[in-house]
Amino acid sequence: MTPLPLPGARRPASRLSAPLLLLLLAAGTHLARGDWPQFLGPTRDGIVAGAGAFGPAWPEEGPRRLWVRDVGAGFSGPIAIGDKVVLFHRQGDQEVLECFDAATGRTAWRASHATAYVDDFGFDEGPRATPCADSGRVYTLGAEGTAAGVELSTGRTLWVLEGRKVFGSRKGFFGLAPSPLVEGDLVILVFGGENGAGIVAVEGATGRVRWKTGEDEASYASPVSAVIGGRRRLLVLTREALVALEPADGRQLFRFPWRPPMSASVSAATPLVIGEHIFLSASYGTGAAWLKYRETGPEVVWQASQGTLSSHYATPVAHEGFLYGFDGRQEQGCTLRCIAASTGKVMWSQERFGAGTLVRIGGELLILTEKGELVRAPATPEGFRPTARAQVLPFLARAHPAVSGGRLFARSKDKLFCHDLGSGGR
């Protein structure tokens, strides 16, 4: 995660910090700056490196659409690597990993495997987890627990691991949703399996299991890794707790209980690591917490069940000591909100704004609402002051988008769109 300063401190947005460089080197990434190789972007915090992705002000109709493609079911978001865009979606009885040319939308290759996932509530039956890419490979985790490694240049399947059969991964309410995480030569997969297979690390090249740990069922949040206090650590929010692990061998460092008080609930916002602090947020009466990382267990700086930022499924973004996100349940009408990270104090609220996802580009927020409206606004605690908004996608736009090369890649229920952010729509 990109370390961010506390309130009042500032740093140039166009430069990568030393801790971020250390993070990228420690992860062994071979991706170019500007890629969006995983869920929530290069540092899994919804932040675009640098501030050059935005062009001039948009015209009334919004950023220019470059292309659109029909796609299958799913809530899995796109990723962008170099001149490729990759989407994981479902067509018929197949979970399909499809690679598109970023400039034209033409299909470069497709890889697939069979799925029999049936949603118990009649919702979308496509994959939920967003793929991740590194070292010439792409990794996926399907809704019923099948993981795979695929060669990025050709689409050749390198390995498949059926988590339900091998580890007893549990379906939960809505299938498996934690996005895979590349950690050095390993891929971290949250299967929520039985007999010590809650979290599993496999070799990216072969799919061979390196270690496994934990008994918890999976939550809907994704694992993160960070350099904290000079040490690289893995943080996983399970259905029951925030767990800190040694990434090399899976050794548990601490377990911090964190879950909604009611059974019929989900925790879906991914933990944010900001310097040596961790921000947790969830709905269903859970609220938020600001923790100081300690090897023996986090120190609670503040924690509140309401009145701060209770994220249902979208992960907030941070900027200069403040957090921006959606407070409240999606089906009840979310409030867009800014809070001070160090205290939880609400700086402003935009009532009944509706659900959506957020990306921060430099000092600006890019908000894609569930209804398909794209909103641009300064990331400031002084108030919500949108500078542009336009209807760019149809309803339902719930998957997290990707921003790469001055382009926005975002999916609706059945289409993948590419818009030009860098030219201001001209």
Q: How far apart are CA 149 and CA 172, in angstroms?
A: 24
Question: Average pLDDT for residues 304-310, to the nearest whole number?
Answer: 95
Q: Is the pLDDT of residue 20 over 90?
A: no
Q: Is the pLDDT of residue 209 over 80?
A: yes
Percent of the chain whose pLDDT exceeds 70 = 90
Lowest average pLDDT, out of 21-35, 119-133, 188-202, goes to: 21-35
As a whole number of Å, the end-to-end CA separation of the chain is 34
Q: Is the pLDDT of residue 12 over 70?
A: no
Q: Is the pLDDT of residue 101 over 90?
A: yes
Q: How far apart are CA 75 and CA 228, in angstroms?
A: 31
Question: Average pLDDT for residues 82-86, to the nearest whole number?
Answer: 97
Question: Average pLDDT for residues 242-270, to the nearest whole number?
Answer: 96
Q: Give burial (CB, 10 Å; 0-12/13-18/19+) of 249.
A: exposed
Lowest average pLDDT, out of 1-5, 72-76, 106-110, 392-396, goes to: 1-5
Q: Is the pLDDT of residue 291 over 70?
A: yes
Question: Average pLDDT for residues 84-102, to the nearest whole number?
Answer: 98
Q: Half-sphere exposure of 115 toward its Cβ, with a 13 Å CA cutoff? A: 31
pLDDT of residue 332: 84
b/e sequence 290-311, b meaning 16+ C-beta within 10 Å: bbebeeeebeeeeeeeeebbbb
Sign of the alpha-carbon dihedral angle for 150, 30, 188, 289: negative
Q: Half-sphere exposure of 342 toward its Cβ, with a 13 Å CA cutoff? A: 11
Question: Average pLDDT for residues 386-402, to the nearest whole number?
Answer: 95
> Which tokens belong to 32?
């170019």
User: Any bridge partners for residue 323, and if so which?
Assistant: 318, 339
CB neighbours of residue 196 within 10 Å? 14
Q: Is the pLDDT of residue 393 over 70?
A: yes
pLDDT of residue 31: 53
Q: Measuring CA to CA, which residue among 192, 183, 250, 197 is closest to residue 221?
A: 192
Q: Give burial (CB, 10 Å; 0-12/13-18/19+) of 119.
A: middle
Q: Is the pLDDT of residue 402 over 50?
A: yes
Tell me: cis bond preceding 396? Omega within 30 of 0 counts. Answer: yes
Question: Average pLDDT for residues 33-41, to the nearest whole number?
Answer: 92
- Domain residue limits, the chain: 18-420
Mean pLDDT of the chain: 91
pLDDT of residue 229: 87
Q: How confident is the model at residue 145 (pLDDT cuts 50, 70, 90)?
A: very high
Q: Measuring CA to CA, which residue among 361, 312, 371 is closest to residue 337?
A: 312
For the chain, give the secondary structure using H, E and C: CCCCCCCCCCCCCCCCCHHHHHHHHHCCCCCCCCCECCCCCCCCCCEECCCCCCCCCCCCCCCEEEEEEECCECCCCCEEECCEEEEEEEECCEEEEEEEECCCCCEEEEEEEECCCCCCCCCCCCCCCCCEEECCEEEEECCCCEEEEEECCCCCEEEEEEHHHHHCCCCCCCCCCCCCEEECCEEEEECCCCCCCCEEEEECCCCCEEEEECCCCECCCCCEEEEECCEEEEEEEECCEEEEECCCCCCEEEEEECCCCCCCCCCCCCCEEECCEEEEEECCCCEEEEEECCCCCCEEEEEECCCCCCECCCCCEEECCEEEEEEECHHHCCEEEEEECCCCCEEEEECCCCCEEEEEECCEEEEEECCCEEEEEECCCCCCCCCEEEECCCCCCCCCCEEECCEEEEECCCEEEEEECCCCCC
pLDDT of residue 50: 66
Interval 122-133: pLDDT, tens: 889 999 999 999
The CATH T-level fold of domain 18-420 is Methylamine Dehydrogenase; Chain H (2.130.10)
pLDDT of residue 52: 62
Q: Is the pLDDT of residue 392 over 70?
A: yes
Q: Is the pLDDT of residue 97 over 60?
A: yes
Q: How far apart are CA 193 and CA 199, in angstroms?
A: 7
Lowest average pLDDT, out of 10-24, 140-154, 263-277, 378-392, goes to: 10-24
